Amino acid sequence: DAGVIQSPRHEVTEMGQEVTLRCKLISGHNSLFWYRQTMMRGLELLIYFNNNVPIDDSGMPEDRFSAKMPNASFSTLKIQPSEPRDSAVYFCASSPLGGNTIYFGEGSWLTVV
Amino acid sequence: GNSVTQMEGPVTLSEEAFLTINCTYTATGYPSLFWYVQYPGEGLQLLLKATKADDKGSNKGFEATYRKETTSFHLEKGSVQVSDSAVYFCALSLNTGRRALTFGSGTRLQVQP
DSSP code per residue over A29-83: --EEEEEEEETTTEEEEEEEEETTEEEE-TT--STTEEEEEEETTEEEEEESS--
Partners of B103 on chain A (C-beta within 8 Å) are 42-43
Share of chain A above pLDDT 90, in %: 77
Q: How confident is the model at residue B96 (pLDDT cuts 50, 70, 90)?
A: low
User: What confidence score (pLDDT) does residue B22 get?
Assistant: 97
| Span A46-61, pLDDT tens digits | 999 988 999 889 899 8
User: What confidence score (pLDDT) does residue A111 get?
Assistant: 97
Q: Does B70 touch chain A (CB under 8 A)?
A: no
pLDDT at residue B45 above 80?
yes
Q: Does A42 contact B49 at a Cβ distance shorter than 8 Å? A: no
Q: Which one, of A92, A102, A31, lies nearest residue B35 by Cα?
A: A102
Poorest-confidence range of A8-12, A41-45, A78-82, A86-90? Answer: A41-45
Q: Does B103 contact A105 at a Cβ distance shorter than 8 Å? A: no
Q: How confident is the model at residue B41 (pLDDT cuts 50, 70, 90)?
A: confident
Q: Does B6 touch chain A (CB under 8 A)?
A: no
Q: Which one, of B109, B77, B88, lies nearest residue B34 by Cα?
A: B88
Q: Which residue of B has its CA nearest to A98?
A: B99
Burial of residue A49, with CB atoms counted within 10 A of its CB: 0-12 exposed, 13-18 middle, 19 or more buried: buried
- Give the CA distances from residue B32 to residues A100, B23, B26, in Å, rounded to whole numbers and listed in that order: 7, 13, 12
Burial of residue B68, with CB atoms counted within 10 A of its CB: 0-12 exposed, 13-18 middle, 19 or more buried: exposed
Contact indicator for B88, B19 with CB cutoff of 8 Å: no
Q: Does B105 contact A42 at a Cβ distance shorter than 8 Å? A: yes
Partners of B42 on chain A (C-beta within 8 Å) are 106-107
Which H helix or E strand runs over B36? strand B31-38
Q: Closest to A91 (Cβ–Cβ): which among B44, B46, B105?
A: B44
